[in-house]
C-alpha cells in the first residue's frame, strides 16, 4: 500500500500551500495582517474566520490577527450591521444591490479614508468573499488594483446526492456514501465539515442528501432527526438541505390507503410531514421528487398530471418557505416512437400551471446525461415555469472514475447554447437564471461525484468537475479554460508551463471521451444496466433501453432520424434550430447521428465518407488519451508522488479502455457496413464475438434501487 506524504487528494483544491513568490506573499501579508471580522449572528462569520485563519497561515506561514476591533485593521470584513464602519449609506446601497450572497473585495471610502474591505449585505456573502480572497492568494493574483464585485447568477446551486440510506451510491464511483446514516445523529465526523467547506468555496448552497429513487424511510421521524444533525454541520457554510420524497410515502408509511393528490387526507399528510420537518430543521430547503419515471410512483398512477402532483407537495412546503423540485426526466413505461420527445410532450401543456414555489428540473439533454447530446428543448418551451438545469457530475457515461474527463467544457457548451426562446441570445444560462421569464426561482443542480474515497471523487482530476460545476453554477459566463487553470493552480502548481500543460490535457479530455465512445452524435451504446464499457450490439429487452434503438445501424446506414421524415423531434426546438437540425446538410456533424439516419457512404465536410469519418473519430479518441499519458509523464515533480502515480495508472487504464471501446464498436459497425477500415485506423485486435463475450462483473455504482 502506498504511503501518502501528506499531500494526497483529501484537501481537494483547498490546499493552502505556502506562496513561493516573495512579492505576492508580501502583498497578501500586508493586506491581511490585521483583520476586523465581527462574529455576527450566525455561524457563517465564524466559518469565514476559521477559513481565513487556516488558509492564511498555510499560505503566508503565520496566522493573521483577527478580531472585532476596527481600529488599526488592514482589512475590514463584515456586513453593514455587524461592522459599523461599513454602514455608510453609499457602501450599504452598493452591497444591497449585490444581495445577501454577493460581496465586495477592494478599497472603499470608510470614515473619510480609503480602506480595504471585504463586505457583504449578508453573512453568507461574507463567507464567499473570504474564499474568494484565499483563491486569489492561492492562484497568485496581484493585490495591486484589486477590485471585486461579485454575486451569484442563480439562487439555488445544488448538489444532488444519489446516496441510499444503506450506504450505497447509485451511479457513484468514489466508494460508499459519505453519509453514515446508521451512526447519525450522534456521529458527525470532520469529513462532513470539510465537505461543507469545499462546497462553500465554490458557492454551492444546497444539497439533496438522498437518492431520487427515494426511500420513504428518509421522511420518518427517526431519519428527520438524522438529517437535522447534518443540517447543523452544513448550515454555517450557507448550505440548506433537501430530501428526496417518494410520491407514495403516505401509502408506503401505512398511514393512508392512497397517495392520490386530490384526496384531502393526502394533502393533510404532506402538510403534517412538512410541519414536522421544519420543527427540526427551520431552514429546510424542500423536496426533490422523481415521479412516474423508471418505475417510480407518481400522480399519473391516479390519473393526475405532473402539475397536480408537484403542487400537492409544494402547497405543503409553501407556508415554511420551502421549494418543490419536480424532475422532468420521464418516459413511458412502454417504449415510444422516440424517447427524446416525451418530456416535452408531457410538460409543455402544463406550462404556467405550477405553483410559484415549484421548479421543474430538466436534464441538460433530452436523453440521459450522454457524453454529447443537444440541449433539452424544454428550455425553449416553458416561459411561464421556473426551470432548473440538471447536470451529472458523476461520470456515469464518461468512463466512471477511471477516466479523465473534464466536464467544464460540457457544462459550458450547454449553458451557452442559444435556445432562441423569444429570439436570439436566450441562452440556457439566461433561461434558468430567470432573465428570460422573470421567475422568482432559479436553480442549477449537479448529480454529485462525491464518495467516501480518500480523494473524495475516485480520480484526482474528477475533483475538477465538482469545482467547475460550482463555479459555473455561480457564474455561467465563466470560461471552462479559466476555471481549469484556477483548479490546476490550486490543486497542483503555479508553474506557468506546467499549468499550461495540465489545462491543455483537461480541455481536450471530454472531446477525447466522445471520440472513443460516441462520436458524430451517437448516444447510449454502453453496456447493459451498469453502463460500463461498450455494448452497441445490445438489442434485446425493452427497446428504448437498448443500444440498437438509439443508433439504428444496419447495412444501409446509421443514426436516428429525428427530422421531418422521422420522429420530427426537431419540431420541439425554436424555428432557427429546427431548420439547423432538421436537415442532414446543415446539422452540425457532432450531432449528425443524433438527428439523422444517413448512409455509410454519405460525404462529410472533410471529403471523407461517414464510415471513414466515424472510424477516424474513434482512432483519434484513443490517440488523444495516449497524448494525455505522454503529457502527464512530463509533469512529474509538479504533483506529490502519490497523486502523480495514481493519475499515471488511471491514464493507463483509460487508454486500454478507450482501445476497448474503439475496437468493440468498430467491429460491430463493420459487421453491418461491410466496409474496410480506412488508412490510419488500426483494425481491432479481436473478432466481434470476443468483445460481445466480455461481461464485466460487480461494476460499481448500480445501487440497490436499480
Report the pLDDT value the prediction gives residue 436, as an integer from 0 to 100.
63
Grid cell, residue 192, equals 462532513
7 confidence band (pLDDT: 50, 70, 90): low
**Site of grid cell 422521422:** 566
Q: Which helix (H) or strand (E) holds 504?
A: helix 496-517
Query: Is residue 377 a part of any domain in this protein?
Result: yes
Query: Is residue 570 a part of any domain in this protein?
Result: no
Cα(294)–Cα(162) distance, rounded to whole angstroms? 15
Checking if the pLDDT of 2 tops 50, the result is no
Q: Going by DSSP bridges, is the β-strand pair 103-110/148-150 parallel, antiparallel, or unpaired?
A: antiparallel
Report the pLDDT value the prediction gives residue 317, as an integer from 0 to 100.
98
Cα(127)–Cα(201) distance, rounded to whole angstroms? 8
Do 354 and 408 belong together in one domain?
yes
Of 214, 219, 216, 317, give the one whose Cα is nearest residue 271. Answer: 317
Report whether the peptide linkage leading into residue 185 is cis, meaning its omega lies within 30 degrees of zero.
Answer: yes
Dmax over CA atoms of the chain, in Å, equals: 81
Report the pLDDT value the prediction gives residue 39, as an integer from 0 to 100.
83
Do 486 and 518 belong together in one domain?
no
**Site of grid cell 409544494:** 314
Cα(362)–Cα(664) distance, rounded to whole angstroms? 32
Outline where 263-347 has alpha helix (H).
264-280, 306-317, 342-347
Give bridge partners of residue 163 from the DSSP assignment: 169
Do 462 and 522 belong together in one domain?
no
Checking if the pLDDT of 412 tops 90, the result is yes
Cα(328)–Cα(390) distance, rounded to whole angstroms? 10
Grid cell, residue 411, equals 457544462
Do 527 and 418 belong together in one domain?
no
Domain that holds residue 110: 9-150
Cα(382)–Cα(188) distance, rounded to whole angstroms? 42
- CB count within 10 Å of CB 71 equals 7
Of 126, 91, 94, 143, give the one whose Cα is nearest residue 112. Answer: 91
Report the pLDDT value the prediction gives residue 6, as an integer from 0 to 100.
53
What are the distances in angstroms from CA 637 to CA 250, 455, 495, 643?
58, 19, 11, 11
Query: Is residue 635 a part of any domain in this protein?
Result: yes
Domain edge (last residue) among 131, 150, 169: 150
Give φ, ψ of 487 to 5 degrees: -65, -45
Cα(238)–Cα(204) distance, rounded to whole angstroms? 8
Cα(100)–Cα(123) distance, rounded to whole angstroms? 7
3 confidence band (pLDDT: 50, 70, 90): very low
Grid cell, residue 706, equals 436499480
More confident residue, 4 or 495: 495
Cα(427)–Cα(414) distance, rounded to whole angstroms? 9
Task: Provide the percentage of residues in the chain whose pLDDT is more than 90.
Answer: 95
42 confidence band (pLDDT: 50, 70, 90): confident
User: Residue 644 is part of a domain; what is its CATH number?
Assistant: 3.90.1330.10
* Sheet of strand 113-119: strand arrangement: 65-67, 34-36, 75-78, 113-119, 103-110, 148-150
Cα(491)–Cα(683) distance, rounded to whole angstroms? 39
Query: Is residue 701 a part of any domain in this protein?
Result: no
| Mean pLDDT computed over every residue of the chain | 96
Report the pLDDT value the prediction gives residue 5, as an integer from 0 to 100.
45
Query: Is residue 605 a part of any domain in this protein?
Result: yes
Cα(352)–Cα(156) distance, rounded to whole angstroms? 21
Query: Is residue 700 a part of any domain in this protein?
Result: no
CA 103 to chain centre: 24
Grid cell, residue 520, equals 458524430
Grid cell, residue 412, equals 459550458
The answer to whether the beta carbons of residues 629 and 505 sit under 8 Å apart is no
- Domain count for the chain, please give it: 3
Do 64 and 177 belong together in one domain?
no
Report the pLDDT value the prediction gives residue 285, as an integer from 0 to 100.
98
Q: Going by DSSP bridges, is the β-strand pair 113-119/103-110 parallel, antiparallel, or unpaired?
A: antiparallel
Do 438 and 556 belong together in one domain?
no
What are the distances in angstroms from CA 394 to CA 166, 182, 331, 369, 574?
19, 24, 22, 10, 30
Checking if the pLDDT of 502 tops 50, the result is yes
Do 454 and 320 belong together in one domain?
yes
Cβ burial 296-316 (10 Å sphere, 16+ → b, else e): bbbbbbbebbbbbbbbbbbbb
Give bridge partners of residue 149 from the DSSP assignment: 104
Torsion region of 284: left, alpha or beta (phi above 0 gives left; psi -120 to 50 gives alpha): beta
Which range (20-24, 196-200, 506-510) has the least confidence?
A: 20-24
Domain edge (last residue) among 150, 168, 194: 150
Of 89, 124, 129, 85, give the one whose Cα is nearest residue 106. Answer: 129
Cα(418)–Cα(570) distance, rounded to whole angstroms? 15
Cα(574)–Cα(555) distance, rounded to whole angstroms? 34
Domain edge (last residue) among 103, 118, 150: 150
Do 262 and 330 belong together in one domain?
yes
Checking if the pLDDT of 204 tops 50, the result is yes
DSSP E strands: which ranges in 191-285? 206-208, 240-244
Residue 300: which residues within 8 A CB-CB, separation 6 or more? 291, 292, 306, 309
Residues across the chain: 706
Do 549 and 680 belong together in one domain?
yes
Residues designated as active site: 294, 368, 396
Of 260, 257, 255, give the one whose Cα is nearest residue 309. Answer: 260
Mean pLDDT within 320-346 = 91
Do 319 and 334 belong together in one domain?
yes
Mean pLDDT within 175-184 = 98
User: Residue 339 is part of a domain; what is its CATH number?
Assistant: 3.20.20.80
Give the tens place of pLDDT for each residue, 254-271.
999 999 999 999 999 999
The answer to whether the beta carbons of residues 298 and 292 sit under 8 Å apart is yes
3-class SS at 386?
coil
Checking if the pLDDT of 440 tops 90, the result is no
Checking if the pLDDT of 8 tops 90, the result is no
Do 480 and 538 belong together in one domain?
no
Give the tens place of pLDDT for each residue, 602-614.
999 999 999 999 9
Mean pLDDT within 150-163 = 98
Checking if the pLDDT of 637 tops 60, the result is yes
Give the tens place of pLDDT for each residue, 654-684.
999 999 999 999 999 999 999 999 999 999 9
Query: Is residue 107 a part of any domain in this protein?
Result: yes
Report whether the peptide linkage leading into residue 204 is cis, meaning its omega lies within 30 degrees of zero.
Answer: no
Grid cell, residue 531, equals 453502463
The answer to whether the beta carbons of residues 131 and 80 sit under 8 Å apart is no
Do 117 and 190 belong together in one domain?
no
The answer to whether the beta carbons of residues 33 and 64 sit under 8 Å apart is yes
Cα(173)–Cα(194) distance, rounded to whole angstroms? 20
4 confidence band (pLDDT: 50, 70, 90): very low
DSSP 605: T
Query: Is residue 505 a part of any domain in this protein?
Result: no
Give φ, ψ of 163 to 5 degrees: -95, 135
Cα(408)–Cα(290) distance, rounded to whole angstroms? 26
Report the pLDDT value the prediction gives residue 1, as an integer from 0 to 100.
30
The answer to whether the beta carbons of residues 91 and 84 sit under 8 Å apart is no
DSSP 640-704: -HHHHHHHHHHHHHHHHHHHHHHHHHHHHHHHHH--PPPTT-PPPSS-HHHHHH----S-TT--T
Cα(658)–Cα(541) distance, rounded to whole angstroms? 27
Amino acid at each position: 500500500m502506498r504511503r501518502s506524504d501528506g499531500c494526497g487528494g483529501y484537501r481537494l483544491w483547498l490546499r493552502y500551500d505556502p506562496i513561493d513568490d516573495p512579492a505576492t506573499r508580501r502583498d497578501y501579508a500586508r493586506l491581511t495582517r490585521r483583520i476586523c471580522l465581527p462574529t455576527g449572528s450566525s455561524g457563517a462569520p465564524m466559518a469565514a474566520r476559521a477559513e481565513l485563519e487556516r488558509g492564511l497561515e498555510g499560505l503566508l506561514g503565520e496566522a493573521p490577527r483577527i478580531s472585532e476591533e476596527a481600529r488599526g485593521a488592514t482589512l475590514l470584513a463584515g456586513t453593514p450591521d455587524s461592522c459599523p464602519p461599513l454602514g455608510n449609506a453609499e457602501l450599504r446601497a452598493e452591497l444591497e444591490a449585490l444581495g445577501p450572497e454577493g460581496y465586495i473585495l477592494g478599497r472603499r471610502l470608510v470614515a473619510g479614508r480609503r480602506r480595504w474591505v471585504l463586505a457583504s449585505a449578508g453573512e453568507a456573502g461574507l463567507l464567499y468573499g473570504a474564499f474568494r480572497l484565499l483563491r486569489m492568494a492561492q492562484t497568485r493574483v496581484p493585490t495591486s488594483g484589486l477590485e471585486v464585485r461579485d454575486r451569484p447568477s442563480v439562487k439555488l446551486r445544488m448538489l444532488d446526492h444519489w446516496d441510499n440510506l444503506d450506504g450505497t451510491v447509485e451511479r457513484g464511483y468514489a466508494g460508499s456514501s459519505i453519509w453514515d446514516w446508521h451512526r447519525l445523529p450522534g456521529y458527525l465526523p470532520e469529513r462532513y465539515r470539510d465537505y461543507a467547506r469545499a462546497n462553500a468555496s465554490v458557492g454551492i448552497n444546497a444539497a439533496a442528501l438522498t437518492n431520487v429513487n427515494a426511500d420513504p424511510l428518509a421522511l420518518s421521524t427517526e431519519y428527520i432527526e438524522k438529517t437535522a444533525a447534518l443540517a447543523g454541520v452544513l448550515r454555517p457554510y450557507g448550505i440548506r438541505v433537501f430530501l428526496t420524497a417518494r410520491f407514495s410515502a403516505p401509502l408506503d408509511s401505512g398511514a393512508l390507503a392512497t397517495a392520490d393528490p386530490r384526496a384531502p387526507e393526502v394533502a393533510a399528510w404532506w402538510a403534517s410531514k412538512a410541519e414536522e420537518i421544519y420543527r427540526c430543521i427551520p431552514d429546510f430547503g424542500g423536496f426533490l421528487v422523481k415521479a412516474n419515471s423508471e418505475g417510480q410512483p407518481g400522480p399519473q398512477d391516479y390519473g393526475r398530471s405532473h402539475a397536480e402532483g408537484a403542487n400537492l407537495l409544494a402547497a405543503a412546503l409553501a407556508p415554511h418557505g420551502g421549494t418543490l423540485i419536480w424532475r422532468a426526466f420521464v418516459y413511458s413505461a412502454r417504449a415510444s416512437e422516440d424517447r427524446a420527445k416525451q418530456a416535452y410532450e408531457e410538460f409543455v401543456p402544463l406550462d404556467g400551471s405550477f405553483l410559484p414555489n415549484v421548479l421543474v428540473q430538466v436534464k441538460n439533454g433530452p436523453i440521459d446525461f450522454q457524453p454529447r447530446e443537444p440541449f433539452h428543448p424544454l428550455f425553449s418551451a416553458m416561459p411561464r415555469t421556473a426551470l432548473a438545469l440538471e447536470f451529472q457530475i458523476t461520470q456515469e457515461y464518461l468512463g466512471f472514475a477511471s477516466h479523465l474527463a473534464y466536464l467544464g467544457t460540457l457544462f459550458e457548451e450547454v449553458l451557452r447554447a442559444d435556445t432562441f426562446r423569444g429570439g436570439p441570445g436566450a441562452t440556457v444560462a439566461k433561461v434558468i437564471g430567470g432573465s428570460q421569464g422573470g421567475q422568482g426561482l432559479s436553480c442549477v443542480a449537479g448529480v454529485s461525484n462525491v464518495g467516501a474515497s480518500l480523494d473524495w471523487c475516485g480520480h484526482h482530476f474528477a475533483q475538477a468537475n465538482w469545482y467547475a460545476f460550482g463555479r459555473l453554477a455561480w457564474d455561467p459566463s465563466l470560461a471552462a479554460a479559466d476555471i481549469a487553470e484556477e483548479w490546476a493552480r490550486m490543486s497542483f502548481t503555479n508553474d506557468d508551463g506546467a499549468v499550461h500543460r495540465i489545462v491543455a490535457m483537461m480541455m481536450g479530455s471530454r472531446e477525447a471521451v466522445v471520440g472513443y465512445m460516441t462520436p458524430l452524435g451517437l448516444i447510449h451504446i454502453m453496456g447493459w444496466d451498469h453502463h460500463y464499457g461498450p455494448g452497441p450490439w445490445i438489442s434485446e429487452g425493452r427497446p428504448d433501453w437498448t443500444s440498437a434503438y438509439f443508433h439504428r445501424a444496419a447495412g444501409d446506414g446509421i443514426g436516428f432520424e429525428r427530422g421531418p421524415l422521422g420522429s420530427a423531434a426537431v419540431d420541439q426546438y425554436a424555428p432557427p434550430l429546427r431548420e439547423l437540425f432538421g436537415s442532414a446538410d446543415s446539422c452540425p456533424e457532432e450531432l449528425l447521428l443524433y438527428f439523422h439516419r444517413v448512409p455509410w457512404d454519405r460525404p462529410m465536410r472533410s471529403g471523407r465518407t461517414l464510415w471513414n469519418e466515424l472510424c477516424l473519430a474513434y482512432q483519434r479518441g484513443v490517440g488523444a488519451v495516449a497524448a494525455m499519458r505522454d503529457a502527464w509523464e512530463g509533469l512529474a515533480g509538479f504533483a506529490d508522488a502519490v497523486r502523480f502515480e495514481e493519475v499515471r495508472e488511471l491514464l493507463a487504464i483509460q487508454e486500454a479502455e478507450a482501445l476497448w471501446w474503439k475496437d468493440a464498436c468498430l467491429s460491430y459497425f463493420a459487421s453491418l457496413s461491410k466496409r474496410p477500415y480506412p488508412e490510419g485506423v488500426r483494425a481491432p485486435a479481436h473478432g466481434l464475438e470476443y468483445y460481445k463475450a466480455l461481461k464485466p462483473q460487480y461494476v460499481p455504482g448500480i445501487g440497490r434501487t436499480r
